[in-house]
């Protein structure tokens, strides 16, 4: 068959072993998954209550404009409905942006390490990828600016960045946006927006009034605890949204996904409580790292990337056999570090107790 050159040799996303598979392999009855930055507390109880009584006609296609969820998100953010685009997760928005703008002969600029989907989508479209290493643990925005030329179509900035958890602060972000050419789209991926507590990183929405070449992406998959429903959204001026919208599939958010969005976004008290509990959990990991003199990245998310001073694949395997699934830093581009989703107090205690034993056993604390 006549496959695109760019698709040959691509490997499918490795989602990590399922809870069921790990239970079976290691004969465990309990597994704690702290690998994909899902909210350990789940979603708002108001969403669960809504779903118990929800009545829908499943024979019908969903509303292709997602009117109710669009209105709810627009009202919450204080923007107009035509300044929003919804995706089947922000993953789909990444692919929509890529399909609309990237092709052979153009290039795209991103940090490394950063969220893997920017690169994968760009590879599929055959665009040139310019990866700029982090500097002082954050995006090297000056080097990213230098990498932009007349063939650059999209620049990806991820704040807080995955897998490091580090934000881009307001001042450098604004200085960067000022210098990006107006015909280059800047994607600001804020998947962890609701978890940010850094006082030097405030709401980015006002930037949209200043920059017509900016799109901000957020999601219901992380703090909202609704990853299963696959709802992400982009915020930009209406001309930009109107360009992207034809690239979107017509019924890309399901009936139930659309229905829960107004319920979830109305419960901001729940999001606040999740943020507070996450802050407390963060302290458990930081205390562990400081006690054992392990380096860690300052995180504004519900995960933390920290040093294990040994092969992180081995730590990953050992923790899995003890019932905890985390991410090894090796495939994320940060060897000898692990990325752990901040769980409940008990989950964090359990994981850290097991990790302490593993590191002890391998002589890390000797």
Ligand X SMILES: *Cc1c(COP(=O)(O)O)cnc(C)c1O
* Among the listed residues 219, 284, 312, 347, the single contact to ligand X using CB under 6 A: 219
Q: Is 191 in the site for ligand X (CB under 6 A)?
A: yes
With respect to ligand X, which residue has the nearer C-beta, 54 or 228?
228
- Compute the least distance from the CB of residue 219 to ligand X, in Å: 3
The region of 46-54, 219-227, 256-264, 323-331 touching ligand X under the rule CB under 6 A is: 219-227
Q: Is 221 in the site for ligand X (CB under 6 A)?
A: yes
Q: Which residue is nearest to ligand X (CB)?
A: 89
The region of 66-74, 83-91, 176-184, 235-243 touching ligand X under the rule CB under 6 A is: 83-91
* Among the listed residues 107, 159, 162, 237, the single contact to ligand X using CB under 6 A: 162
**Of residues 109, 153, 105, 104, the one with CA closest to residue 4:** 104
The region of 39-47, 61-69, 84-92, 278-286 touching ligand X under the rule CB under 6 A is: 84-92
Q: Is 113 in the site for ligand X (CB under 6 A)?
A: no
* Among the listed residues 227, 255, 256, 289, the single contact to ligand X using CB under 6 A: 227
Q: Is 234 in the site for ligand X (CB under 6 A)?
A: no
* Among the listed residues 91, 125, 307, 318, the single contact to ligand X using CB under 6 A: 91
Q: Is 115 in the site for ligand X (CB under 6 A)?
A: yes
Q: Is 300 in the site for ligand X (CB under 6 A)?
A: no
Distance between CA 97 and CA 121 in Å, rounded? Answer: 9
Q: How many residues bind ligand X (CB under 6 A)?
A: 13
**Of residues 56, 73, 94, the one with CA closest to residue 254:** 56
CB-based burial of residue 275 (10 Å sphere; 0-12 exposed, 13-18 middle, 19+ buried)? middle
Q: Is 341 in the site for ligand X (CB under 6 A)?
A: no
Q: Is 232 in the site for ligand X (CB under 6 A)?
A: yes
The region of 87-95, 105-113, 253-261, 289-297 touching ligand X under the rule CB under 6 A is: 87-95
């Amino acid at each position: 068959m006549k496959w695109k050159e760019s698709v040959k040799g691509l490997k499918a996303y490795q989602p990590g072993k399922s809870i069921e598979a790990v239970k079976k392999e290691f004969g465990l009855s309990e597994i704690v998954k702290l690998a994909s930055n899902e909210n350990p507390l789940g979603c708002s109880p108001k969403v669960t209550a809504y779903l118990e009584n929800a009545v829908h006609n499943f024979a019908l296609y969903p509303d292709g404009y997602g009117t109710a969820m669009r209105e709810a998100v627009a009202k919450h953010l204080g923007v107009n409905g035509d300044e929003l685009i919804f995706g089947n997760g922000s993953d789909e928005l990444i692919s929509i942006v890529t399909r609309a703008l990237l092709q052979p002969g153009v290039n795209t600029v991103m940090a490394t390490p950063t969220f893997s989907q920017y690169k994968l989508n760009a590879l599929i479209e055959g665009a040139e990828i310019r990866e700029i290493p982090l500097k002082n643990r954050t995006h090297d925005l000056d080097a990213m600016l230098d990498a932009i030329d007349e063939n650059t179509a999209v620049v990806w900035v991820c704040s807080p960045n995955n897998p490091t958890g580090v934000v881009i602060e307001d001042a450098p972000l604004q200085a960067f946006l000022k210098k990006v050419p107006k015909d280059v789209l800047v994607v600001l991926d804020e998947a962890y927006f609701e978890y940010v507590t850094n006082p030097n990183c405030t709401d980015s929405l006002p930037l949209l009034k200043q920059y017509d070449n900016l799109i901000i992406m957020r999601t219901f998959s992380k703090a909202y605890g609704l990853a299963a429903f696959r709802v992400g959204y982009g915020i930009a001026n209406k001309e930009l949204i109107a360009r992207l919208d034809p690239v979107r599939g017509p019924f890309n958010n399901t009936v139930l996904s659309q229905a829960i969005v107004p319920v979830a976004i109305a419960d901001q008290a729940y999001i606040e409580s999740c943020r507070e509990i996450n802050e407390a959990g963060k302290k458990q990991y930081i205390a562990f790292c400081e006690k054992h003199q392990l380096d860690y990245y300052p995180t504004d998310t519900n995960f933390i990337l920290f040093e294990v001073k040994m092969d992180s694949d081995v730590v990953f395997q050992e923790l899995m056999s003890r019932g905890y699934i985390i991410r090894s830093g090796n495939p994320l581009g940060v060897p000898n570090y692990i990325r752990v989703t901040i769980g409940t107090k008990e989950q964090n205690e359990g994981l850290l107790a097991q990790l302490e034993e593993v590191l002890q056993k391998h002589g890390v604390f000797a």
